[in-house]
């Protein structure tokens, strides 16, 4: 019923018949459910043996023209597959799971040494490794055009997706107010970057220095002209 061919010699070799598919467990049929006409199988010529040939699975009954049940299921499956991956949503997912990955790395077999995320450079290194799973052209430390008389580097540029990733880690001297002020300046600077269509600001806050993470996210997440900005603070709450 899902379109997997069990045998193309139902009548000539009945020993190959199966009531259910071994791949998916679905019930098997050998006739059109609409008109009862046999589904065409192997065209056998006595004395001729074809090597490597397998009878194609039809999509419609040749007698009444009705579609077989697997046609609609294959269409549904094709529609469910997203062929255009949204890089921005993928980045959001990676960032949202970052803290779980960082915690997992603390525990290793037989107390082996691991990566401890203690400062902003550690955050960048771990995030860079995670980005490698899904993105090809990752350019760290790209220079931004000058803004207010100064230029700086971005943490990561995803060239193909035209996304810039800005990374920050909170600490006793970098709390919510300071993070907010820095990000406001960063957002304005990145507007002038020729490859920046979307900006994701990832703020790692494992000690909970940001008292109202949702509020800061809502205040800074915006769309300004051609630039889409998303601020993510992870985790939310210590």
Beta strand spans in 29-186 (E): 138-140, 156-158, 163-169
Q: Are residues 44 and 157 both part of a single domain?
A: no
pLDDT tens for 99-140 read 999 999 988 888 888 888 999 999 999 999 999 998 988 988
14, pLDDT greater than 50:
yes
Instruction: Determine the pLDDT at residue 188.
Output: 86
Task: Give the tokens for residue 95.
Answer: 């960032």
Say what percent of the chain tops pLDDT 70. 87
Q: Which residue has the higher pLDDT, 112 or 142?
A: 112
Contact (CB, 8 A) for 210 and 101:
no
Q: Single out the residue in 34, 64, 81 at which a domain terminates.
A: 81
The per-type count for the chain, helices as H runs and strands as E runs, is 6, 6
Asked if residue 193 lies in contact with residue 226, where contact means CB atoms within 8 angstroms, the answer is: no
Does 56 share its domain with 126?
no
Q: Above pLDDT 90, what percent of the chain?
A: 55
Same domain, 98 and 164: yes
Count of the separate structural domains present in the chain: 2
Query: Measuring CA to CA, which residue among 139, 140, 123 is closest to residue 206?
Result: 123
Q: How many CA atoms lie within 13 A of 164 on its CB side?
A: 25
User: Among 81, 101, 135, where does a domain finish?
Assistant: 81
- CA separation for the pair 36, 74 (Å, rounded): 22
CA distance 150 to 6: 69
Q: Containing domain of residue 52, as a range?
A: 1-81
DSSP string, 188-226: HHHTT-TT-SEEEEEEE-TT---S-HHHHHHHH-EEETT
CA distance 2 to 154: 50
């Amino acid at each position: 019923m899902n379109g997997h061919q069990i045998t193309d010699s139902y009548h000539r070799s009945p020993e190959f018949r199966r009531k259910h598919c071994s791949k998916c467990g679905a019930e098997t049929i050998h006739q059109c459910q609409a008109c009862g006409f046999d589904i065409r199988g192997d065209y056998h010529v006595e004395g001729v043996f074809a090597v490597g040939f397998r009878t194609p699975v039809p999509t419609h009954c040749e007698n009444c023209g009705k579609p077989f049940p697997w046609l609609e299921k294959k269409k549904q499956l094709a529609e469910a597959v997203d062929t255009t991956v949204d890089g921005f949503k993928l980045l959001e997912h990676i960032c949202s799971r970052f803290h779980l990955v960082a915690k997992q790395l603390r525990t290793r077999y037989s107390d082996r040494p691991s990566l401890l995320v203690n400062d902003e450079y550690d955050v960048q290194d771990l995030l860079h490794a995670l980005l490698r799973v899904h993105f090809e052209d990752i350019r760290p430390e790209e220079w931004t055009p000058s803004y207010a008389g100064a230029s700086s580097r971005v943490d990561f540029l995803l060239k193909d997706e035209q996304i810039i990733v800005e990374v920050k880690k909170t600490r006793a001297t970098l709390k919510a107010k300071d993070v907010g002020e820095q990000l406001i300046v960063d957002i304005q600077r990145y507007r002038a970057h020729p490859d920046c269509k979307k900006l994701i600001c990832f703020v790692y806050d494992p000690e909970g220095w940001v008292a109202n993470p949702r509020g800061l996210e809502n205040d800074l997440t915006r769309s300004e002209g051609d630039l889409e900005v998303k601020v993510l603070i992870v985790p939310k709450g210590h």
